[in-house]
Structure 1
Amino acid sequence: MNFEIIIVGAGSMGMAAGYFLASQGRKVLLIDAFDPPHTEGAHHGETRIIRHAYGEGENYVPMALRAQELWQDLEEKSNRRLFLQTGVLNVGDAESEFIQNVKKSAETYSLPVEVLTASEMNERWPGFQFSNDFVGCFEKNSGVLMVEECVRAYRELAEKNGAVLRTNTSVKAIKASESSVIVKTDNETFTGEKLIITAGRGSDPILSALGLELPLQSMRKTFSWFDSDEAVYRADVFPAFAVNYPNSDELYYGFPSIDGAGVKIGRHDEGQPVKSGEVLADYGTFPEDEQDVKKFASKFMSQKLPLKFGKTCVYTNSPDSDFIIDRHPELNHVIFACGFSGHGFKFASAVGEILSQLAVDGKSKQDISDFSIDRF
């Protein structure tokens, strides 16, 4: 079967790209080893934070703002609840790089960010108990994305616009000539004019087969839910949050209780290395799965929050934690996006648009020069 564009990996980024291409009338095929949305990658667990004043660097802000526009557009087109405007509270030492980046992003792009002392945070949200060595930056326009619903919405609209989807299908071989690609699965062979690779932790073996070695490292991560008082922690009175420990790389993130699920907390740094295709160890296998988040909750939450359960996911990290979005240096029709390092989902809508532009127009309307492989 022949297609204009073949996308290998139909998770958040790939499914978004498939939608944008199909909506333009392009003949597009999406292949995924599982059945999106699924629990084998980095897009499950109900929720992700979307922030605009970005602690990881102001170069991300234009993409974050574009992503927010596209999520709202998807919400309208799909008639699904995808975004909750809970606000996001970024917390840390006043002089930390994390807080300074948030403030700089807000100043450069005129974003509505309110700077708060520890006592002001504790008074506004009684569920917190921050000590005086913390400050907060509150973004009222930011909030929470419902991740599985986002992927499901893009899938529904992509297929509605004519995209072909092969789920539970493993790619066995890829051959690329100067102007086309051949993708072989267990039972079928497909040809395409262009190839987009958005395979998460499966990107490494695929790119390697095409002669491209990238410095990617996949890490097993966990997140946990806690029983909580709905009067204090429900989503219309309590924000999503990110907390950077003073004088440390420790960074935690969390969510209010949504639909009675309880407060959700995860640790962004640390984790256990995993290989491509390796089955993840169950939640609770390692002591730190529960210990780290329990310690965080007891230290920064004013009420006792009993742990309910947890889940695992995978970060596929680049060495500098910045994204990788580029073309194959020798095969101009092969495009890839990977290394999203645990902070990529919020950008999936914008990355999907970028990949569609690279495939069709040859260039992106967003500046993606910081995400080139030339930096390695």
Structure 2
Amino acid sequence: MSAVSHSRYLIIGAGSMGLSAAHYLAQQTTETIQVLDAYSPPHDQGAHHGETRLIRLAYGEGAAYVPLAKQAWALWQAMAQEAGQALLMPVGVVNCGPSDDPFVVQVQESADQYQLALETLSGDELNARYAGWQLPAEMTGCVESQAGVLRIDRIMRWLRQRVSAQAQIQLSTGAGVVRLEALDSGGVLAHCADGRQFSGDRVLLSSGQSLQPLMASVGIELPLTRVRKTFAWFECDERYTPDQFPGFSINDASGIYYGFPNIEGAGFKIGRHDGGQPLPPGEPLRAFGELEEDLAELQPVLDRYFPGVGALRHGAVCQYIRTPDEHFLIDECLPGVLVAGGFSGHGYKFASVLGHLFAHWLFDGEKSPLLAPFSAQRFSSPGFE
């Protein structure tokens, strides 16, 4: 058995949340921060890989996200300035759907509540503004100018470089944690598959698909589901350049879809937010195209709404870690152990602000009120199904 490497701060999972938290925590303390990852970030085994994610402030998933989104936007801008490169493209986002669609209604209500700039247009008006749309007249679109696209590859590579350059942060890769032991004094002892052991007094567990089994090893069952998701890039014409077409989400009878303009010639990108194939932690993701629905669920939407989009270039797979209500799960589930997961496919845009808040929580023990809606206690409350 190897000797235990102890540090006051231990972060298990060096994805977007873990690296962001380490980055901000190093600004508050001179003590050692130990960060563990089963692979070597950035990698394609979590939920942080890929080129792009949408960021928007008017939030159809609920108004509680808006204060976080506003802070995240400011922190991404500050991070871009520090990095000396463009990490955020303010191309705008359009959320489309029937006028009575709950998501569209919530986007409008959250904008009203927080006085966000939002323009509501009919399908015909959207078609006139953006030549790349082919929407029915009865469709409603909410146009948000303070929104856009995060450059994920750039962000993750810069965070990795930034964290690796700070002497007080010890990043251990290939450190796949397979079991936890709760410590009487608070915190945990983490056992890695290769025999290494790490302990920490103040711990952030942000380990994606391994979050559920690791917490089960200390007797805590979390209601998390791992889901295989796909997205793809397609040929497109000049109507879909970033100066001509925004990021978007669209809800129709067949599902909930999201997408991006043609950024740097990569092609028109689209994915489906709902649906997907549940699978257990650790099971390999089947490649794009191995299931018939991978392309079949995208093509009708492209044919229906996007007249300038053509043949498939290539597709990819990723994973969502979902909670039953698709809201985040963020809580201190053991003394000194902060759990962050269940980001349900819409969490990356908040990685900057959540990393900032996790850093404060680890350092001073104070949980931000902005995180209150995401407590694990909601799943055991009366009436929750």
Q: What TM-score range do you get, normalising by the shorter chain?
A: over 0.9
Q: Identify the residue that residue 67 of structure 2 maps to in structure 1.
A: 62
Look up the match of 2:239. 232
**Could you tell me whether the CA contact under 8 Å between 2:94 and 2:246 is conserved in 1?**
yes
1:183 CA drift (Å): 2.0
State the aligned residue count: 371
Task: Tell whether 2:261 aligns with 1:218.
Answer: no
Matched with 2:324 is 319
Contact 2:9 2:33 in 1 (8 A): yes
Q: Which moved more, 1:249-258 or 1:313-322?
A: 249-258
Whole-angstrom CA distance in 2 between matches of 1:237 and 1:142 = 15
**1:130-177 CA distances to partner (integer Å, 9 max, x unpaired)?**
001201000001000011221222222222233111112211332221
Contact 2:178 2:214 in 1 (8 A): no
1:282 equivalenced with 2:287 (yes/no): yes
Match of 1:4 in 2: 8
Per the TM alignment, residue 187 of structure 1 is displaced from its structure 2 partner at its CA by 4.3
SS at match of 2:297: helix
In the TM superposition, residue 59 of structure 1 has moved relative to its aligned partner by 0.8
Indicate if the aligned counterparts of 2:234 and 2:309 stay in contact, CA closer than 8 A.
Answer: no
In the alignment, what sits opposite 1:209? 217
Indicate whether 1:296 and 2:317 are aligned.
no
Shift in alpha-carbon separation, 1:366–1:76, aligned structure 2, 3 A: farther
2:41 matches 1:36: yes
Q: What is the match of residue 198 of structure 1?
A: 206
Q: Distance in 2 between matches of 1:126 and 1:152?
A: 35
Shift of 1:202: 1.1
The corresponding residue for 2:180 is 174
Match of 2:154 among 140, 149, 159: 149
Paired position in structure 1 for 2:377: 374
Consecutive unaligned residues of structure 2, counting only runs of 5 or more, are 380-385
Q: CA-to-partner distance for each residue in 1:81-102, whole Å, 9 max, x for gaps?
A: 2100110000011111111101
Partners of 2:134 and 2:304 within 8 A in 1: yes
Distance 1:160 1:68 in 2: 25
1:334-373 correspondence to structure 2 within 5 Å: 334-373=337-376
Deviation at 1:126, TM superposition (A): 0.3
- Partners of 1:224 and 1:311 within 8 A in 2: yes
Asked if the contact 1:173–1:184 (Cα under 8 Å) also holds between the matched residues in 2, the reply is: yes
2:336 paired with 1:333: yes
How many Å separate the matches in 1 of 2:336 and 2:378?
Answer: 21
Which piece of structure 1 moves more, 116-125 or 361-370?
361-370
Instruction: Identify unmatched segments of 5+ residues in structure 1.
Output: none
Deviation at 1:304, TM superposition (A): 4.1
Deviation, 1:46, is 0.6
Q: Residue 351 of structure 1: CA displacement?
A: 1.2
In the alignment, the residues of structure 1 paired with residue 285 and residue 363 of structure 2 have an alpha-carbon distance, to the nearest angstrom, of 37
- Aligned residues with identical type, % of pairs: 40
